[in-house]
Chains A and B, each alone.
Chain A
Amino acid sequence: MSSLWISNARVIDPASGRDKVGNVFITDGKIVARLSAADKKSAKKIDARGLIACPGLVDIHVHFREPGQTHKETIATGTQAAAAGGFTSVVCMPNTSPVADTAGTIQFINDAIRRDAVVKVYPTGCITAGMKGLALAPIGSLKRAGVVAITDDGECVQNNELMRRAAEYAKMFDLCVMDHCQDAAMTQGAVMNEGIMSIRLGLRGWPNAAEDIIVARNVILSTYTGAHIHMQHISSKNSVELLRRAKARGVRVTAEATPHHIALTDAELATYDTNFKMNPPLRTEADRQEIIAGLRDGTLDCISTDHAPHTDYEKDKEFDYAPNGILGLETSLAISLQVLVRENKFKLPHVIDLMTRKPAEILKLNAGTLAEGAPADVCLFDPEETWVYNSRKGFSKSSNSPWHGETLKGRVKMTIVDGRVVFADGKIK
Chain B
Amino acid sequence: MLWTRKHLITLEELSLAEIEQIHATATAFKNVLARGVKKLPALRGKTVVNLFLEPSTRTRMAFDMAAKRLSADVISFDSASSSTTKGETLRDTAQNIEALKADMIVIRHAASGSPLYLSKILNIPVINAGDGAHEHPTQGLLDTFTMKEHLGSLNGRKVVILGDILFSRVARSNIYALTKMGAAVTLVGPATLVPHSLTELGVQVSHDLRSALADAEVVMLLRIQHERQASSHFPSLGEYTSMFGLNKTRASWLNPKAIIMHPGPINRGVEIDSDLADGERSVILEQVSNGIAVRMAALYLCSGGQPENATITD
Contacts and interface: CB of A to CB of B under 8 A. Distances in A.
Physical interaction between A and B = yes
B288 interface: no
A188 B230 contact: yes
Interface in B188-205: 195, 197-198, 200-201
A188 B233 CA distance: 13
A209 interface: no
A195 interface: yes
Nearest to A195: B197
A318 B117 contact: yes
B109 interface: yes
B132 interface: yes
Contacts of A317: 89-91
Contacts of A202: 112-113, 131-135, 169, 172
A318 B90 contact: yes
A134 interface: no
A388 interface: no
A318 B195 contact: no
Interface in B116-136: 116-117, 131-135
B132 to A, nearest CB: 5
B114 interface: yes
Contacts of A318: 90, 109, 111, 113-114, 117
B12 interface: yes
Given A313-B89, A316-B91, A317-B89, A201 B114 contact: no
A319 B110 CA distance: 11
Contacts of B110: 320
A208 to B, nearest CB: 13
A313 B133 CA distance: 25
A393 interface: no
A220 interface: no
B89 A199 contact: no
Contacts of B113: 201-203, 272, 318-320
A323 B255 CA distance: 49
Question: Among the interface residues A201, A203, A320, A321, which one has the most CB atoms of the partner chain B within 10 A?
Answer: A201
Contacts of A196: 197, 200-201
Given A317-B90, A321-B111, A199 B132 contact: no
Contact of B132 (A195, A313, A320): A320
Interface in A292-318: 313, 316-318
Nearest to A320: B111
Contacts of B200: 196, 199
Nearest to B200: A196
A201 B169 CA distance: 10
A200 interface: yes
Contacts of A199: 166, 195, 197-198, 200-201
18 contacts: A188-B230, A196-B201, A199-B166, A199-B195, A202-B112, A202-B131, A202-B135, A202-B169, A202-B172, A203-B112, A203-B133, A271-B116, A272-B113, A313-B89, A317-B89, A318-B90, A319-B111, A319-B112
By Cβ-Cβ distance, the 10 closest A-B pairs, closest first, are A202-B134, A272-B113, A318-B111, A202-B133, A202-B112, A320-B111, A196-B200, A319-B113, A318-B114, A202-B132
